[in-house]
Amino acid sequence: MKNGAKHTTIIDIAKILRISPSTVSRALNNHPDIKIKTKEKVRNIAKKLQYSPNTIAQSLKNNRTKTIGVMIPEIKHDFFSSAISGIEEIAYHSGYTIIVCQSNESYEREVLNTIALMRHRVAGVIVSISQNTKSGEHFKDLLRRKIPLVFFDRVCDDIEASKVVIDDYKSAFDAVTFLINKGYKKIAHFAGPQGVGVYEKRLKGYVDAIKENKIPFVNGLLLHAGLNTSDGYESMDSLFKSKLIPDAIFTVNDPVALGACKRIKEAGLKIPNDIAAIGFSNNVITSVVDPSLTTVDQFPFEMGRKAAELLIQTIENKLMKPKTIIIDTKLIVREST
Amino acid sequence: MKNGAKHTTIIDIAKILRISPSTVSRALNNHPDIKIKTKEKVRNIAKKLQYSPNTIAQSLKNNRTKTIGVMIPEIKHDFFSSAISGIEEIAYHSGYTIIVCQSNESYEREVLNTIALMRHRVAGVIVSISQNTKSGEHFKDLLRRKIPLVFFDRVCDDIEASKVVIDDYKSAFDAVTFLINKGYKKIAHFAGPQGVGVYEKRLKGYVDAIKENKIPFVNGLLLHAGLNTSDGYESMDSLFKSKLIPDAIFTVNDPVALGACKRIKEAGLKIPNDIAAIGFSNNVITSVVDPSLTTVDQFPFEMGRKAAELLIQTIENKLMKPKTIIIDTKLIVREST
DNA sequence: TAATAAACTACAAACGATTGCGGGAACGAT
DNA sequence: ATCGTTCCCGCAATCGTTTGTAGTTTATTA
């Protein structure tokens, strides 16, 4: 079961040149104690034998790795894959590699993945937590072991770690206010799973925007469901059945908005003339659907970059205490409003 | 610059119990030489101190890691993030972790990433190559070091390694034949970068389908461009300008098809009545655009799974020689045809 | 020429785990 | 009393690097 891999080591090089491994090591690391002649010889042999240092051995010796653990719910979501892309970008340029794992929205798997990352002695971890994560004990384990931790988007509020988030409350508030200013008065909200901070805040933003603008709050216009297209479809369907027809909807995310739009179109109504719609996240998809969807851009690539920057700064002791970065969102106005 | 991390080791446990580290190791690995009483004591202390084995040390000792390197052009593409998801799924269940890197379609970066993966002594590598990769020397380096390699989708033909692909030729041939059977006669193809095998094969499939069905091949209906929406838009634009209007188009991928559709709609023409369209890949986006797009599903999640399975089998010596798996594609017929 | 500094290089320990081998203890059988 | 088993466990080497210390040249200076 061994990897058959046979790599050349500094000992191989040492033997050939009849010098000691330590000299080879110092030569390769350009240590001043080694004379240039020797360094050149070492480097030549190293190149000839395709020597590449064994990170494993280095890590063991130095008690430190250049690996960052990334755990997100699901890679296939636009938002998260863009974030990973941003993380990888920064990591790459700082000489770090990233280990990616997905929790699949499962708390148990999140815990197991955390353990796996600890075993790997990652230098730090970047996380967006699963929907079903209530306890943050596994993250506290990381901190107890002095492994730096950065949350992004879906954060764990009661853990002292750096965070990269958007202002979900304000983004939602602004989106709804935008609708109100456009003259819409019966605005529905399809909320996400409560218990997850970001969705709670979006809901609160909706409620407060309604209240502050002195629009009557109608309980029936506030629906709770999941995060998928089907949820949006069904929520809209139930509104139609209840004869409580809004003139605009604001949904927890883009897929839900799209599902709702589908149902609206099936009802023979026009968007935005009969019902306007705003989603959340600016999935690529929103710009090409017909009508294109007004939505809130969270700049996930940028969030990933910032999270990686924060983490690396913490790892390298350039950032001594947790910091929260709030990424500005942008309402992307399109045809659906 | 050290990670402050302080982890408990088997030595710590050994000291507490006044036994030797080797006994602790054997106890934890459930070795028959160790009596149950001792094992229990060891396990208790291990749990109390939150011991978790140092993968680094294990890897060094065993000269083998349980890490798989994954290199793809860009994570943010639907197709690749789904594939990664599939890879991670299989890897997770076999106890492997994955290191992800992106080449960003750059040959140089692909080479550097390969070196980084070798340094990490990954047990194997899964790759979809960049557009600009002509030489496969860096992959041969992997094989020389006996590091198993599996390609998926964009493969390197002249390297002897396992591959997971679709039959691009047949998929394209079938898609075009489908159009022909529907009665379309002036079918255009917007081809991708030649030099990349998969795109060449799709082109060939198009050409042969035209010829075998005795439809006149019109040179002006074959356009070469890139892979983005803008390329599709411009290709369509140039067709309009050349007054050579097709009654159907088959594009190298979905974004190109969408770009073309955009231009078609701008021209006031109807899809599929005036011009039909077929894309390639079944990006999520294609099902929600209006009109929804007929396309070819490549089952990227499944490709990722298969690639991971092949790789792990090779790593564990259960697969002795390279194998090529061809994933069946499926023409998803929607409104655009 | 001898003393001293400067320039190189080697030795050995360490990182944390695994594992072949050997040895002590306890026990029964002869 | 001797031998043989069986059961537990420890010693020490090993994986590939890094690095403090010490040692050997060589060059420099008095």
Question: pLDDT tens, B140-150?
Answer: 999 999 999 99
Would B208 be classed as within a structural domain? Answer: yes
Q: Are residues B229 and B264 in the same domain?
A: yes
Q: How far apart are CA A99 and CA A88, in angstroms?
A: 10
Q: Are residues A151 and A82 in the same domain?
A: yes
Residue B122 has pLDDT above 90, yes or no: yes
Nucleotide nearest to A39 (CA to C1'): C8
From residue B302, how far is each of A152, A160, B38, B297 by CA, in Å?
29, 39, 46, 11
Would A128 be classed as within a structural domain? Answer: yes
* pLDDT band at residue A3 using 50, 70 and 90 as cut-offs: very low
Q: Beta carbon of A22 within 7 Å of strand D?
A: yes
Q: Are residues A87 and A234 in the same domain?
A: no
Peptide bond between residue A255 and the one before it cis (omega within 30 degrees of 0): no
Residue of B10, B11, B50, B52 for testing the chain A interface, max A β-carbons within 10 Å: B52
Among candidates B247, B189, B253, B249, which has minimal Cα distance to B222? B189
Among candidates A213, A207, A167, A211, which has minimal Cα distance to A188? A207
Contact across the interface for A120 and B55, Cβ inside 8 Å: yes
Q: Are residues A200 and A99 in the same domain?
A: no
Q: Beta carbon of B63 within 7 Å of strand D?
A: yes
Q: Are residues A279 and A311 in the same domain?
A: no
CATH number, domain of A284, equals 3.40.50.2300
pLDDT in tens, B134-178: 899 999 999 999 999 999 999 999 999 999 999 999 999 999 999
Answer whether A285 touches B (CB < 8 Å). Answer: yes
pLDDT in tens, A232-258: 999 999 999 999 999 999 999 999 999
pLDDT in tens, A90-128: 999 999 999 999 999 999 999 999 999 999 999 999 999
Residue B279 distance to chain A (closest CA, Å): 15
pLDDT in tens, A190-226: 999 998 899 999 999 999 999 999 999 999 999 999 9
Contact across the interface for B316 and A258, Cβ inside 8 Å: no
Identify whether the C-beta of residue B59 lies closer than 8 Å to the C-beta of residue A56.
yes
Judged by DSSP in three states, B331 sits in strand
Identify whether the C-beta of residue B66 lies closer than 8 Å to the C-beta of residue B95.
yes
A52 contacts in chain B (CB < 8 Å): 115, 118-119
Q: How far apart are CA B95 and CA A293, in angstroms?
A: 42
Nucleotide nearest to B60 (CA to C1'): D15
Among candidates B96, B116, B161, B158, which has minimal Cα distance to B133? B158
Report pLDDT for A285: 85
Across A48-52, average pLDDT? 94
Across A16-33, average pLDDT? 93
Handedness of CA B173, B174, B176, B182 (dihedral sign): positive
Contact map slice: B 218-277 vs A, CB within 8 A: 258
DSSP state of B285: G
Over chain B, what is the mean pLDDT?
A: 94
pLDDT in tens, B23-36: 999 999 999 999 99
Report pLDDT for A164: 98
Would B337 be classed as within a structural domain? Answer: no
* pLDDT band at residue B284 using 50, 70 and 90 as cut-offs: confident
Q: Are residues A306 and A161 in the same domain?
A: yes
Identify whether the C-beta of residue A96 lies closer than 8 Å to the C-beta of residue A66.
yes
Q: Are residues A74 and A183 in the same domain?
A: no
Q: Which nucleotides of C are covered by protein (CB under 7 A)?
A: 7-12, 14-20
Q: Are residues B217 and B283 in the same domain?
A: yes
Q: Are residues B229 and B183 in the same domain?
A: yes
Would B335 be classed as within a structural domain? Answer: no
User: In degrees rounded to 5, what are phi and psi of residue A290?
Assistant: -120, 115
Residue B78 distance to chain A (closest CA, Å): 7
Report pLDDT for A267: 95
Q: pLDDT higher for A208 or B290?
A: A208
Beta strands A149-152 and A124-127: pairing type?
Answer: parallel
Comparing CB atoms, the residue among B98, B147, B285 nearest residue A284 is: B285
Q: Are residues A155 and A172 in the same domain?
A: no
Rg (CA), chain A: 26
Q: Tell me the HSE value of B274 on the side-chain side, using a 13 A CA sphere.
A: 12
Q: Are residues A102 and A153 in the same domain?
A: yes
Contact map slice: A 101-160 vs B, CB within 8 A: 101-102, 115-116, 118-121, 123, 141, 144-147
Residue A323, token pair as written in the block: 């910091």
Over chain A, what is the mean pLDDT?
A: 94
* pLDDT band at residue B5 using 50, 70 and 90 as cut-offs: low
Contact map slice: B 71-90 vs A, CB within 8 A: 74-76, 78, 81-82, 84-85, 88
CB proximity list for A116: less than 8 A, separation 6 or greater: A101, B97
Share of chain A above pLDDT 90, in %: 92
Q: Which nucleotides of D are covered by protein (CB under 7 A)?
A: 7-12, 14-20
Residue A5 has pLDDT above 70, yes or no: no
* pLDDT band at residue B285 using 50, 70 and 90 as cut-offs: confident
* pLDDT band at residue B16 using 50, 70 and 90 as cut-offs: very high
Answer whether B320 touches A (CB < 8 Å). Answer: no
Would A199 be classed as within a structural domain? Answer: yes
Would B4 be classed as within a structural domain? Answer: no
A64 contacts in chain B (CB < 8 Å): 1-3
Residue of B119, B295, B303 for testing the chain A interface, max A β-carbons within 10 Å: B119
The DSSP string of A164-197 is: EEE-HHHHHHHHHHHHHHTT---EEEEE--TTSH
Nucleotide nearest to B9 (CA to C1'): C16
Across B86-115, average pLDDT? 96
pLDDT in tens, A299-328: 999 999 999 999 999 999 999 999 999 999
Would A32 be classed as within a structural domain? Answer: yes
CATH number, domain of B31, equals 1.10.260.40
Answer whether A1 touches B (CB < 8 Å). Answer: yes
Residue A226 domain boundaries: 168-297
Identify whether the C-beta of residue B256 lies closer than 8 Å to the C-beta of residue B193.
no
Q: Which residue of B has its CA nearest to A62?
A: B2
Report pLDDT for B3: 42
Across B109-126, average pLDDT? 96
Domains in chain B, number: 3
Contact across the interface for B76 and A60, Cβ inside 8 Å: no
A54 contacts in chain B (CB < 8 Å): 60, 119, 121
Would A334 be classed as within a structural domain? Answer: no
Q: Are residues A31 and A82 in the same domain?
A: no
